[in-house]
Structure 1
């Protein structure tokens, strides 16, 4: 892709430090982004159910990631008018589309985890630790 003036256009080139895709990549590919998106594959969840589903995530980190993924157009935040208000999160069409390759990655990790742990141990034995 060429930008005006013949210079390469940073959009769509995640290897370019000016590419807006880099920020999106950090939202999606970070530990929490993948797990949040995968947790919502089966339907909407309220904040506390998401927190409980994703072991180890703090409320602060969950809130930050939900805001970023909602801003990116991958999640929908719905507020039900009640006392107290009920807030739930669901995948948008783009979010559902993205969960296909993310789920494939999670499935691959589940299948290959033992091999990876074995490789890590072998490496650590040869190279003196982690």
Structure 2
């Protein structure tokens, strides 16, 4: 699966706004777990495309390597938390937790002028 292009569900309200960036890396224990992750991705992707406070998102998937990366930008940490606990994401995350071998998360703040966030920057922060 190729990298999904950056989508912009909600344009930021002003040029000088701060943006809260979230990046993650997931590695599943088995190929079966990776395929379960892949099957559940479309529902979460639809959710983020309509999420209040979401300024952008993208996803890298390497299911045969059992690894997935997410990168998103949010209006606030509260908007990110609301997304993570609702819709398809909440049950998907809970349902896949036992499949995870490793997960890493990083957050940082940047300016709206930095959108879309560069994958190289996110991958460096996830190392």
Shared fold (TM-score greater than 0.5)? no
Taking structure 1 as the reference length, the TM-score comes to 0.24
Higher strand share: 2
Largest Rg, 1 or 2: 1
Higher helix share: 1
